[in-house]
């Protein structure tokens, strides 16, 4: 896969993933998509807290991933970053796309109908982190599942931009760590 394709997939995530949520909520529930994207009174504080929580969870995950058992877990994102020689600007772009696009689809759309817990499980499963064929991959899924729950509860209590900030900064922190490892290899 070349870098242009990953950018294209990032744009699909950002621009196309939200469409089913917007369409279904608008036509079945009468919810205006612009209402979902409104920035509330405490927007700066919520985004800042989201960044901090995303960073904290990424650092927590990073520490856990250093355990010997995780060395045997093939993480697709690590291989992708190394293969495509992604840089920090690529990481920022892809993190924005995932943070906004995936949160609009999962938290705004799917969670509205399935609730926080089922959406969190679906979110982790769709990313391929639960696998009967690769049980060690499911171990990583169990590490990410609490983050998916935090995203769900964060969206419910603090709004969309809080959840998007957590997702963005978690992804960005892990991308940055992987890019940093690449330079050491």
pLDDT band at residue 181 under the 50/70/90 scheme: low
Mean pLDDT confidence for 162-172 = 97
* Alpha-carbon gap, residue 132 to 121, rounded angstroms: 15
Predicted pLDDT at 183: 45
Nearest to 62 by CA among 175, 182, 149, 162: 175
Instruction: Record the tokens describing residue 101, joined without a space.
Output: 């696009």
Residue keyed to tokens 């997702």 = 167
Which positions ≥6 away from 5 have C-beta within 8 Å? none
Q: Which of the pair, 173 or 182, is modelled with greater confidence?
A: 173
* Alpha-carbon gap, residue 105 to 128, rounded angstroms: 17
Angle between helix 135-158 and helix 111-126 axes, rounded to 10 deg = 150
Instruction: Record the tokens describing residue 7, joined without a space.
Output: 């950018």
Is 81 in contact with 175 (CB distance < 8 Å)?
yes
Within-domain flag for 111: yes
Number of structural domains found in the chain: 1
Within-domain flag for 38: no
DSSP H or E stretch at residue 158: helix 135-158
**pTM to 2 decimals?**
0.91
Task: State what percent of residues in the chain have pLDDT above 70.
Answer: 96
Within-domain flag for 36: no
Tell me the per-residue pLDDT of 40-55, one tens digit each, with 9 for 90 and over: 788 899 999 999 999 9
With residues binned 3-state (H G I as helix, E B as strand, rest as coil), the percentages for the chain, rounded to 5, are 85, 0, 15
* Side-chain half-sphere exposure of 159, counting CA atoms within 13 A: 16
Most confident of 56-65, 68-77, 103-112: 103-112
Mean pLDDT of the chain: 90
Is 157 in contact with 84 (CB distance < 8 Å)?
no
pLDDT band at residue 103 under the 50/70/90 scheme: very high
Supply the range of the domain harboring residue 123: 3-30+43-184
Q: Which of the pair, 93 or 3, is modelled with greater confidence?
A: 93
């Amino acid at each position: 896969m070349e870098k242009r394709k990953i950018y294209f997939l990032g744009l699909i995530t950002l621009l196309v993933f939200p469409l089913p949520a917007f369409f279904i909520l608008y036509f079945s529930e009468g919810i205006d998509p612009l209402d979902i994207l409104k920035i509330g009174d405490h927007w700066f504080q919520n985004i800042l807290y989201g960044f901090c929580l995303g960073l904290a969870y990424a650092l927590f995950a990073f520490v856990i991933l250093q355990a010997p058992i995780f060395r045997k877990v093939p993480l697709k994102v690590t291989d992708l970053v190394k293969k495509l020689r992604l840089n920090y600007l690529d990481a920022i772009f892809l993190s924005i796309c995932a943070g906004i696009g995936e949160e609009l689809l999962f938290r705004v759309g799917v969670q509205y109908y399935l609730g926080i817990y089922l959406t969190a499980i679906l979110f982790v499963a769709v990313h391929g982190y639960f696998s009967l064929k690769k049980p060690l991959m499911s171990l990583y899924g169990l590490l990410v599942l609490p983050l998916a729950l935090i995203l769900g509860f964060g969206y419910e209590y603090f709004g969309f931009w809080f959840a998007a900030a957590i997702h963005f900064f978690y992804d960005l922190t892990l991308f940055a760590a992987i890019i940093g490892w690449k330079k050491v290899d």
